[in-house]
Each structure stands twice: as structure tokens, then as C-alpha cells.
Structure 1
């Protein structure tokens, strides 16, 4: 009855909605927050789904773009599978993707080294539980090239030559076979970096910053740099990693520069300004993949692990060294001056890498002429 707060617009005691609002007012007031929460939830779910779809799409896009050329599983007499993961990284001077004008502008010379070109840079990147290690193998290392079968089916006996001869004779497959034969290290993956794509990769990154302790002038490579920190474009980067004529240790200093430069490229490619910007990330990924020839088992995940390992090297959490050397000017009757490894120390180092043990052998000092940032 009147004055008893029964059912009505205000509910018991008239503590509900203002008169005249009715049930529609209560519905609007209480459902609005639930609608916003639902919208936020669906938006978040949509973003997550898009990110997952984009990541999956990017993975398969990259997987289809990889240029796979070397079947490591077909190599004869491979060492047993080691612990950790070992990447063999080679820098190739094969100029097949450069025009004559580009070869002249980049000071690369003509491509007269046969089907596979030549390799001035060979490194083993070991990724394991005791930190990552980047080990340079000098191109003039005097090693045994094991018996192999050429592309035409001709069988060649084992012989002793410089390490880069293996690449010029049989490309990445024979190089990997030779490295395994002489080190006892099982090579899990192979990556070959070529001239033209390397230039495009650096340009896609917007350049790579390097810091030089001294000026560098090498007309043969086109290097002409002042001392101090500076950003190299693609052509300048190529000139830098190829220069050696002004260096007292020639190839050894060049290898040290190449190690540090590759680590700097990996570091810059992993920065948020690259990874979080799709307009930069995809050109970098495309140029990076176009730079490479890899083994048939290489996946985009394996490739990412390789670059993250290089990034670890530049951050100081790993080792960067050159194989221990006994004689850097060893005369040979067929190959001129070559380089002999210190086999006592080298065997210990190779065993530590194969078995993923802490590194106790420091190898040859990689030098400190350059600091990559």
C-alpha cells in the first residue's frame, strides 16, 4: 500500500533508480561496463590472433625464400653429432649477382675464380651451454682436403692445400667436409654470405655503426675511413671487411674486422627500431635472406639462432678468437706462403667446441682495432 516501499520505480525503500528511469535505465547503467570489458577482451584477442598469424606467415615466407644449396647430411665420414650447435659461416666473393658496373664501383674485381668463386672468410659459430664462440679459420690455413667426388663425377684423391682451395674446388659442401676432416667438429648448419646481398642488407638496416681506432686507407678494397665512430653504408661496409693491405697482420686483422662487423650487423638487426618496425623489418629480412645460401636443413628458426649467437658475441657474453697458429708464413712448394695451426692447442679447442665444454684455449688474439656498436 501507500508508503510501504513495494515494487515500483524506486524498488523497496525507493533506493533504486530515479523516478521515470524504469528498468531500461537499470539495464543501461549495469550493462555498459560489461560491454566495454567485452570489447576490450575481443580487441586483445584479435591483436593476439593477428600477431600469431603474422608471425606464422612471416615464418613460412622466410622459409620459402631461403636459398638452400648444401646437403650436409650427404657428406662422407662426418664426425659424430656434437653437443650444442655448430654453424660454418663463409664469406663468398662469387659475383654472379653483380653487374660489371657494380663490380667496378665496389672494387671487387672480376669473377674469375670458377664456378664457386673464392672465400676470404671462414668461421665456426658454436652455440652452447657455456656461452657462444666465434672461431675464425684463416683462409691460408694449410690443411688436408679429403678425397671427394667433383660435380662431373670425377674422383679426386686427398691433397694438402690452403683452406680456401676447398671452397673454390667444391663450394660449401667441400669446405664443410674439409673443416670437419681437419677439426673433428660436426657441422650442423652452413651459411654463405655473398657480395651483392651483403651490400643490400646493410643499406636496408640504414647503415651499421663501427668505431675505428685509426684511419684506414686501402685503394684495393676502396676503404677510405677516418678514425672514430661512424656509420657505414653497404658499399663502405664491403670495403671495410675486405681491406687488409695496410694491416701488419693482413688476413688475420681482416678476419678480426669481419668477426666484429658481422656481430655488429646482428646486434643492429635485433634492435627494437628494426624488429618493431614492419616497414624496416621486412626489407631487412628480405635482404638478409637474399644475402645467404644455406644448407638444406636450415630453417628460419635456425637462422635466427645464428644471428642471435652473433649478437651475443658483440654483447661480450661469448668468445671471439682465431684458431691457434704455429707459423703464419709457412712456405709450401705448391701454394706459396701458407699458415700452420698449432695442432696441440687447436685439438684441445676443437674438442671443447665439439663437446660443448668451457673454452680454455684462447687461440690467436682476434685484435682490437675495431669496436662494433
Structure 2
């Protein structure tokens, strides 16, 4: 999951909850630019203008004016073939940032320097990938969403080392964690696998959240709390996507039983080196052409054989 995969899951859940099958109608160091709140709407038809490739960004923020992107994920849903694809881009990838005086920095710094517009441009320049829409959520939004959707928490295995490192309110072994502690769990990266272990924990939590949400919203109690969940939840994200587009893609995913997604992690195994630069710190110096090609093949292929990881 990570913060971002959870946001996408949340959008799908909201879409399924608000969609009515018998009335299927999809019409409808600079400061980051202001984004449009997700509750805005328009009359652009989903079928005529499907949301192609969009960027999901988890923000490393606790209220600061400027923040770095903690999680970067590119998602693509093809309505015709009912395919959902998710490509995670590791935040420490050392890439060219347009307009940056020293030219290269970690990709997550692009958001800090110029918000979503610069991050989109950076992805285009380095990976030849055009972004159509953006969804963002910060740490507080993530914690609130977890507690809103799964008030009973999520069960995970926690180590003593993780507890000490992240100051977690938990005990070694199996724990049922809530928003604050789950955020610490998915952000922990000081084990032998470093940031890559963090991504694995994020994917683990995504699957568990999916099951917890499905169980809750499928109950009688879930039906009664849905109106409040929808109203409160949509206020926790920001996006330039119109509400009808969100409802359209989400309802199609749910109605067509898209139970799984194809995943790709950038950089691929064997295509990067650990480097250290004074202005950027520890980075992943990646082979741009190889990873660009991998992304191109991943998003253009209809095969189910593209679950490449580092």
C-alpha cells in the first residue's frame, strides 16, 4: 500500500458506495501550487474523457508549508480491459529535476521545490511518462482515514527493534494497530532491507486494509455509517480529478471485480547503485533508460506477467 495505495483503495470504496447501477451516468524552494479539493464536480463525461495515468502522492508533512513526497505511485486503469496497474517510484531515486540549479536530486525533492506540477514534469523528463491527474494525502489525513475506515485497527507483527526505533505504543509480536501506529509501521525503514522493507510492509498493510474495509462496509452497520464516512473521507484528500471521474473509475473497478492489481517497483533490481552526494545525501543512482523502458512496457502491456520488483 503505502499511503498512496490506500488512498486509491479508499477512492474505489467510496465510488462503489455512492454508485447506483440503475442510474449509471458518469457525466458530469517554491511553495507547492494550490490544488483543487476533491469534492468539486463538473460535467465532463467519464466515458469520453477517461482518467488515464494519474499520480498518487503521500506527503511527508505535519502541517509545514513545504514538504517532500514520502510515497510516489503512478496508477493506470484501462476501462476496456479492466486492468489496474500500480508503479511505485522509490523516493530516493536520483533524477534530473527541471529548473533545479544542480540539475539532479532525489525525486521526492521535486515536490518540495515545485509541488505536484514539478513532480509531474520530473516524471515526464526522466521516465517519459505523462501524468493526467494527481491525488495527494498527508500523514494526518492517512491516520484519520485509517481510523475512519477501520476503527478496530489492523493486525500486524511488530518487532522490539521497530517499537524502540519508532516509539510505538505496542508490544513485540502480533498487535492490532490504529492510525497513528500503523503510520509508524509503514514508515519504518531501519531494518536490513531499508526503504525496500518499508515498501513490503506498505503492501502488506494494503491487503489487510482491503479485507478490513470490505468486511466492515459489507455489514449492516457499514451501511448505516456510509453517509458520514463519505462526507468525512473526501475532505482528507486533495486532487485535480473531478468527482465524477473518481466515481466512474472506482465503480468500474468494483463492478468488474478487479480484485488484484499488477505492480512494478522502480528502480528494478540490478539497475541502481547506492551513492552519496553532499547536496542530496544518500540516493539511488538509477539507470534511467532501463527503468524508463520498464515503465513503458509495464503500462503498455496487457499481460499479467509484469509484477516486477526490486
8 Å contact kept, 2:51–2:132: no
Secondary structure of the corresponding residue to residue 309 of structure 2: coil
Structure 2 unaligned residues grouped into runs of 5+: 1-18, 29-35, 41-49
Secondary structure of the corresponding residue to residue 95 of structure 1: coil
| Corresponding residue of 2:38 | 66
| Corresponding residue of 2:88 | 136
Aligned residues: 266
| Corresponding residue of 2:265 | 322
| Corresponding residue of 1:126 | 76
| Corresponding residue of 2:52 | 85
Secondary structure of the corresponding residue to residue 349 of structure 1: helix
Structure possessing the higher relative contact order (Cα contacts under 8 Å, 6 or more residues apart): 2
**Which structure's CA Rg is the greater one?**
1
* 2:232 corresponds to 1:232: no
Give the superposition deviation at 1:332: 2.5
Cα displacement string for residues 98-124 of structure 1 (whole angstroms, at most 9, x for unaligned residues): xxxxxxxxxxxxx4xxx2312221111
Secondary structure of the corresponding residue to residue 132 of structure 1: strand
| Corresponding residue of 2:110 | 166
* 2:67 corresponds to 1:95: no
Structure 1 unaligned residues grouped into runs of 5+: 1-50, 69-82, 97-110, 148-155, 366-373
RMSD (CA atoms): 3.9
Equivalent of 1:259, from 188, 200, 203? 203
- Runs of 4+ with deviation above 4 angstroms: 213-216, 306-310, 312-315, 359-362
8 Å contact kept, 2:153–2:176: yes
| Alignment partners' CA distance in 2, 1:303 and 1:89 | 16
8 Å contact kept, 1:121–1:255: no
8 Å contact kept, 2:127–2:288: no
Equivalent of 1:116, from 66, 90, 98? 66
8 Å contact kept, 1:184–1:354: no
* 2:144 corresponds to 1:200: yes
- Structure-1-length-normalised TM-score: 0.59
| Alignment partners' CA distance in 2, 1:238 and 1:254 | 11
